[in-house]
Amino acid sequence: MCGACGGGVVRGPWEDAVAPRGPRQLGERAAALESLCAPLRWRVRPFGAAGFTVTTATGAGRTAAGVDDVTAAAVAAGLPVDAAAGAWPDDEALSAAAAVVRLSVLVAAGSGAELHGPVPAGLVVAHVHGAAVRVVRRDGGFAVRRARPAAPTSTPAGAPRATS
């Protein structure tokens, strides 16, 4: 129970389940976010326990509660996600911070994605931007894989039906 409001237990951001929260991890996430937002000329710095300050190219500043807030704002501001994501290899060994940022921006842009890596046992789904994302445990570094479109299950219009 929460001591301040008497409410239920509150979970931290999903990215804290992938890699523990701390000043070093927050700094790494800020650096990964700033690298991603380079086309927009944004500066991203750690702020507080889990947030970020974002300064735009015009000097306007705002705070963000987590990685998802920054990536959603970047996509809304016109970040060219498809161009950047097309250059990302599926099996690239990433740091936890880079994987969290890539996963968040792909989901923010409406692409399906999966997180692969040395995640804690029992973590099978992360809720990124409110969407459930599959998490696959594997040894080695992290990787973010774009979800492949599912094979069509119905017969296309005009095609003959299969008979057995």
**pLDDT value at residue 67:** 94
- Quickly list DSSP for 100-148: HHHHHHHHHTT--EEEEESPPTT--EEEETTEEEEEEE-SSSBEEEEPP
pLDDT in tens, the chain (164 residues): 455 565 555 566 888 888 888 899 999 999 999 999 999 999 999 998 889 999 999 999 999 999 999 999 999 999 988 766 766 776 678 889 999 999 999 899 888 888 888 887 777 888 899 888 888 888 888 888 877 655 555 555 555 655 54
Distances (CA, A) of 142 to 32, 80, 90, 95, 138: 14, 23, 10, 6, 8
Neighbour order of strands in the sheet with 131-137: 125-128, 131-137, 113-117, 143-146
Q: What is the pTM of this model?
A: 0.79
Measure the CA–CA gap between 129 and 126, rounded to whole angstroms. Answer: 10
pLDDT at 73: 95
Q: CB pairs under 8 A, 24+ apart, for 61-65? A: 65/13
Q: What is the pLDDT of residues 88-124, one digit of tens each?
A: 776 678 889 999 999 999 899 888 888 888 887 777 8
Predicted local confidence at residue 146, as pLDDT: 78
> Which pLDDT belongs to residue 161?
55
Number of H helices, E strands in the chain: 5, 7
Rounded Cα distance between 52 and 66, Å, is: 7
pLDDT for residue 28: 95
pLDDT of residue 1: 45
Starting from the edge strand earliest in sequence, which strands make up the sheet with 51-55, in order? 43-47, 51-55, 61-64
Sort strands 131-137 and 125-128 into parallel, antiparallel or unpaired: antiparallel
Extents of the domains making up the chain: 15-146
Give the per-residue pLDDT at 69.
95
